[in-house]
Amino acid sequence: MYTNLSVRSLEGVAPALGERVFIDPSAVVSGDVTIGDDSSIWPCTVVRGDMLPIVIGERTSIQDGSVVHCTHDGPFSPGGSPTIIGSDVVVGHSVTLHGCTIHDRVLVGIGARILDDVVVESDVMIGAGTLVPPGKTLESGYLYFGNPVRQARPLTEDELGYFVYTAGHYVDTKNRHLRDFGIEI
């Protein structure tokens, strides 16, 4: 479907892309990566499935300069940690997601770092610059921020509605880019 994009196989394992996925030509997506329908990977982002699988759901946007990777299976991390990202997730610019699980309808603020074995439940906002240390669980329905992360307050009804709106906005934006590349949607 794409030409001149950096979607790479590794040792015979190619990324699996859903329908209408946009991957910017300056991004790199390699190895055991699955990306769901209508998702987008923006400029200078790296999604590197060379240790364990990376799964990205539908209508999820990984913004410019972000890194998505996993923790390998080894003596200090038995079984390793894949990275699983749900649907309707917006990952801000320059975010690092490493060996974590992020459920549906999550906003990850610019420059946040979410580390190994973290679980982010659905309907969570993570503030810009937040560090989520290994092994934490962020409970559904709250805003989190800080270094290290702390629960700030419950989300409002308006904020809860923002998740699907923002994910839809990025679906529209990636469709504009696909059309500009000459890809009919």
Q: What is the pLDDT of residue 185?
A: 82
Measured CA to CA, the distance from residue 63 to residue 165 in angstroms comes to 16
Burial of 152 (0-12, 13-18, 19+ CB in 10 A): middle
Q: What is the pLDDT of residue 4?
A: 44
Q: What is the pLDDT of residue 5?
A: 56
What digits encode the pLDDT tens for the residues 11-68? 999 999 999 999 999 999 999 999 999 999 999 999 999 999 999 999 999 999 999 9
pTM score = 0.95
Using alpha carbons, select from 85, 53, 70 the residue that is nearest to residue 115: 70
**Residue 102 one-letter amino acid:** I
CATH H-level, domain 7-179: superfamily: Hexapeptide repeat proteins (2.160.10.10)
- Look-up of token digits 């679906």: 171
Q: What is the pLDDT of residue 82?
A: 98
Higher pLDDT among residues 2 and 30, named by residue: 30
Backbone torsion region of residue 94, taken as left when φ is above 0, otherwise alpha when ψ lies between -120 and 50, otherwise beta: left
What digits encode the pLDDT tens for the residues 87-111? 999 999 999 999 999 999 999 999 9
Q: What is the pLDDT of residue 181?
A: 86
Burial of 8 (0-12, 13-18, 19+ CB in 10 A): middle
Measured CA to CA, the distance from residue 24 to residue 42 in angstroms comes to 5
